Amino acid sequence: MDLLTPGFGLFFWTLIAFLTVFFLLKKFAWKPILEALNEREKNIADSIASAEKVRFEMASMKSEHETLLNQAREERTLLLKEAKETKEKIIGEAKEAAKEEANKIMQESRQQIEFQKNAAIIDVKNQIGTLVIEVAEKVLRKELANKEQQHQYINTLAQEIKLN
């Protein structure tokens, strides 16, 4: 049992060494160690607060980012819709202009055809009239070979003309 219980001398000198180290540490090292611990605790608390602030700002920035992204999507959709409407409007206007131009060309063509038809009819009538006059002249010359019959026929025509 001697091994388990220390002697009084060992206990006394151990206590003296402990108290000396304790007082020396208290006088010279305790304050700087506590200040370092307090400063470290303050730095940790500041870091935690800063991390919370950054986390809050990140959440805010994420919300703003999502808002901006949604606005950009809406603007893109709106721009695409406007571009499609503009395209359809331009195509419609071009089709309408083409139809009007085609109608105008068709109308001018019809007028030219009608004019040429009328000119051809007049030309044919003139040619027929000339032919009829030539044929009539030849027939009358042959039939009215004598002068007295010609004078008589002329007088008859003159009377008919006066009556009309």
Tens digit of each residue's pLDDT (9 = 90 or more) over 17-68:
999 999 998 888 888 888 999 999 999 999 999 999 999 999 989 989 999 9
pLDDT above 90 as % of the chain:
59
- Coil, helix or strand at residue 81: helix
- φ/ψ (deg, to 5) at 2: -60, -30
Q: How far, in Å, CA of 148 to CA of 64, rounded? A: 122
pLDDT at 126: 84
pLDDT at 2: 63
Rounded to 5°, angle at Cα 113 from 110 and 118:
125
Q: How far, in Å, CA of 118 to CA of 107, rounded? A: 16
pTM passes above 0.85: no
- Coil, helix or strand at residue 83: helix
